[in-house]
Structure 1
Amino acid sequence: MKKLFKAIAVAALVGAAYLPSAHAVPVGLELVLLVDVSGSVDSTEFGLQKTGYVNAFNSAAVQNAILGSQLGAIAVTFVEWSGNNQQSQRVGWSMINSVASAQSFATAINNSTRAFTGRTAIQDAMIFGSGLFGNNGYEGLRLVMDVSGDGADNDTSGCNTIANARCGRDIALAAGVNAINGLPILGESGLLSYYQSNVQGGAGAFTLAANSFSDFSAAVERKLVTEITNKTPEPGSLALVGLALAGLVGMRRRRRRNS
């Protein structure tokens, strides 16, 4: 019961932060990028993951999606997360409404350093991310969080006595986030279905997987275009990811350090 009251209190505080300021800049989308840097992500994989985001915001596909989106502008922030007390905004809220501003955001990600290397607390990452929308200087038509990671939640918090992302997802949605989309990096058995059941949530939400860290760059570009244009992928295209997963499970198991 005490845990329940604590979760309700967290939701109330997060919800209160959603009141827009009088001088907020209107944008079509406010987007929080939540990036897993837990211990299972080694230095090479971290580099591939970060490069994926850099390449995406430097790509014509993402830039054109932004320019052609509602109001022709988005506000985005880049957050790294690991254990239940490990979340950090590595690049603060930035407005992207031109090729130059997209490139500047990509450069800021590239220049950032790794914040953590601990356990995996997806629930706390989502609660932290949902609190970033309030008083950020922007008022978006949609509030979206994008969660990428290579493993299931393995760290408990005040939100839940069980290490499961669902509690954090539900708090974020109750507080006003419109959609939470998943970008699992496959290798751990059952990770795709875990993200679909425990991370993905809200109207039009979806999960789009990367087969490996080497495939992350292409996956994140496609995912960002989908989020920015607000066009949910066709179910058939996501089913192809499931077929890829079936082949990978027998070939590769993700190591889980610090678990």
Structure 2
Amino acid sequence: MKKISKALAVAAVAGAAAAYMPAASAVPVGLELVLLVDVSGSVDATEYGLQKTGYVNAFNSAAVQNAILGSQLGNIAVTYVEWSGNNQQSQQVGWTLIDSVASAQAFATAINGTTRAFSGLTAIQDAMMYGGSLAQANNGYEGLRFVLDVSGDGADNDTTDCNTGANAACGRDAALAAGVTTVNGLPILGEGGLLAYYTANVKSASGFVTPAANFGDFATAVENKLVKEIIGVPEPISLALFGVSLAGLGLARRRRMPV
């Protein structure tokens, strides 16, 4: 009887791990990361340049490169998205595999080559919903985590999709329901109450907020934030055990939908 029970347990573990494993065509990565960057009208041309340069410098930095190479599976898939008002989101740099110093530098170069997509109102909720749609799409990668990295300098002022006044939480909740694992925030302070707003309405329960005092401090803040979320949760464990834990908790991440 003990042998039979043990055999069943082993089979259950193997089955759970197999259920987690990505499709043959998908590249396994430790993290799928969506950089959601505020380019609304409150961000002037100088501030926009500081913000973009912050991301360029971060992916050129040894700190971020070492975090990626030392993270679970030693790689990430990342995309750079600019957003403003409702229905204003642009995937400026598509999904990119970073698994080396050279590929991190190439991603930085690609960001540097973009031009500003928008300069409208501020719809954080719609940006996070867009991030949720990316979690549902087949991007060619399958990660252990799917994280939204939201940065911006103001609270929502374009809430048509949510109909909840100045509350972006519905967008965050929609993204989590779509399969996003975690939402982290980087508020660029200046507007009163923005840190509390991001803490209450943008970050998820498993996420965190890293504020920048101003646009001049953005580069340091974004580098620190990227390192933290790249090497963050879950702690490095075996792929099989990670799959078992997801299956056991009923938290297996989204099923991919066709693009």
TM bin, normalised by shorter chain, reads 0.7 to 0.9
* 2:87 alignment partner in structure 1: 85
Aligned residue type for 2:46: T
Q: Is the 8 A contact 1:36 1:149 kept in 2?
A: yes
Q: Is the 8 A contact 1:178 1:202 kept in 2?
A: no
Quote how far apart the aligned CAs of 1:164 are.
2.0
Looking at structure 2, the residues matched to 225 and 145 of structure 1 have their Cα atoms a distance apart, in angstroms, of 14
User: Aligned to 2:77, which of 75, 78, 83?
Assistant: 75
User: Aligned to 2:152, which of 133, 149, 152?
Assistant: 149
Tell me the SS of whatever aligns to 1:90: strand
Aligned residue type for 2:71: S
Aligned residue type for 2:151: S
Percent same amino acid at aligned positions? Answer: 75
Looking at structure 2, the residues matched to 214 and 106 of structure 1 have their Cα atoms a distance apart, in angstroms, of 19
TM-score by length of structure 1 reads 0.80
* 2:106 alignment partner in structure 1: 104
TM-score by length of structure 2 reads 0.80
Greater C-alpha radius of gyration = 2
Unaligned runs of 5+ residues in structure 2 are: 1-21, 235-259
* 1:220 alignment partner in structure 2: 222
Quote how far apart the aligned CAs of 1:21 are.
5.0
Aligned residue type for 1:149: G
CA deviation string 1:177-229 (max 9, x = no partner)? 110000000001110000000000042x1000000000000000000000000
Tell me the SS of whatever aligns to 1:186: coil
Aligned residue type for 1:164: N
Looking at structure 2, the residues matched to 156 and 190 of structure 1 have their Cα atoms a distance apart, in angstroms, of 18
Query: Which structure 2 residues correspond to residues 121-160 of structure 1 after superposition, within 5 A?
Result: 121-133=123-135, 134-160=137-163
Q: Is the 8 A contact 1:79 1:90 kept in 2?
A: yes
Looking at structure 2, the residues matched to 76 and 101 of structure 1 have their Cα atoms a distance apart, in angstroms, of 11
Aligned residue type for 2:41: G
Quote how far apart the aligned CAs of 1:22 are.
4.3
Q: How many residues align?
A: 213
Q: Is the 8 A contact 1:94 1:105 kept in 2?
A: yes
* 1:167 alignment partner in structure 2: 170
Point out the more displaced range, 90-99 or 150-159.
150-159
Unaligned runs of 5+ residues in structure 1 are: 1-19, 233-259
CA deviation string 1:79-103 (max 9, x = no partner)? 0000001100000000000000000
Runs of 4+ with deviation above 4 angstroms:
none
Please give the root-mean-square deviation of Cα atoms over the aligned residues, in Å.
1.5
Q: Is the 8 A contact 1:173 1:179 kept in 2?
A: yes
* 1:42 alignment partner in structure 2: 44
Quote how far apart the aligned CAs of 1:161 are.
4.3
1:188 aligns with 2:194: no
Q: Is the 8 A contact 1:73 1:96 kept in 2?
A: yes
CA deviation string 1:79-135 (max 9, x = no partner)? 000000110000000000000000000000000000000000000000001111220
Looking at structure 2, the residues matched to 138 and 231 of structure 1 have their Cα atoms a distance apart, in angstroms, of 19
Looking at structure 2, the residues matched to 160 and 76 of structure 1 have their Cα atoms a distance apart, in angstroms, of 30
